[in-house]
Amino acid sequence: MSRRKTTMASSSLTKPQMRGLLAKRLRFHIVGAFVVSLGVAAFYKFAVAEPRKKAYADFYRNYDSIKDFEEMRKAGIFQSAK
C-alpha cells in the first residue's frame, strides 16, 4: 500500500544521500577499528607490559636466592629443610 507524501509546494527538503551508504559506513568502521585496536594495543604495552618487565628486572637485579631461602627456612615452611 503506497503512502502519500503530502508536502506544501513552497517547502522543499534537501535530497538525502542516496548512494554509497555502505561504503561510507565501511570506511568509518574500518578506520575506527584500526585506530581503536592500535590504541588499545599501545595502551596495554605501555600501561601493563613495560611496567611488568621493569618490575621483574628490578626484583631480580639484586636478588640473593640463598638469603631468600634462609628466610623461608627460618619461617618453617619446608618439610625437608628445618
Partner 1 sequence: SIHLPLESSDKTQGVSSPGCLKEGLTSSSVLRANLQDTLDSIQEMSFRAAWSLVLRKGGLGMRGIHSPGGTAHSKEKMPPYTSYHAQRSYPMPDEPFCTELSAEQQALKEKEKGSWTQLSHAEKVALYRLQFHETFTEMNRRSNEWKTVMGCVFFFFGFTGLLIWWQRVYVFPKKPITLMDEWKAQQLQRILDMKGNAVQGLASRWDYERKEWKK
Residue of the chain from 28, 34, 46, 56 that contacts partner 1 (CB under 8 A)? 56
Is residue 82 part of the contact set for partner 1 (CB under 8 A)?
no
Residue pair 82/73 in contact by the 8 Å Cβ criterion: yes
Query: Which one of 19-27, 29-37, 38-46, 53-61 is the stretch in contact with partner 1 (CB under 8 A)?
Result: 53-61
CA-to-CA separations, 81 to 64, 69, 78, in angstroms, rounded: 18, 10, 6
What is the DSSP-derived secondary structure letter of residue 13? P
By CB under 8 A, name the binding residues for partner 1: 1, 3-8, 10-11, 52, 55-56, 59, 68, 71-72, 75-77
